[in-house]
Amino acid sequence: MLRLGWIAPTETIPIRFGTSRAGAVDVALYTTATIDALPTTHPDIDWQQLRSIGKGRRSPLAALQPTNPTLAPA
């Protein structure tokens, strides 16, 4: 969904994991309102089918192309 440009993080925060010497890792944060709005903003997607995809199976969303390539990360 991020690659498709459907969602974007509202904030990014640095998080340190354990005693790692690598430093902090940036973690993207999303609002629940943005996630909850996905079925409404993309009614053409079969959300029930997506929720039933088994572990290790490729998502049908992987075959979709970004609608706005300028928003999608490389």
Sorted by sequence, the CB contacts under 8 Å of residue 48 that are 6+ apart come out as: none
Tell me which of 30 and 69 has the higher pLDDT: 30
68 band by pLDDT with thresholds 50, 70 and 90: low
pTM metric for this prediction: 0.66
- What does the alpha-carbon distance between residue 38 and residue 47 come to, in Å, rounded to a whole number? 9
User: Per-residue pLDDT for 72 more than 90?
Assistant: no
pLDDT tens figures, 14-61: 988 777 677 788 899 999 999 999 999 999 999 999 989 999 999 988
Q: What's the CA gap between 74 and 68, in Å, rounded?
A: 12
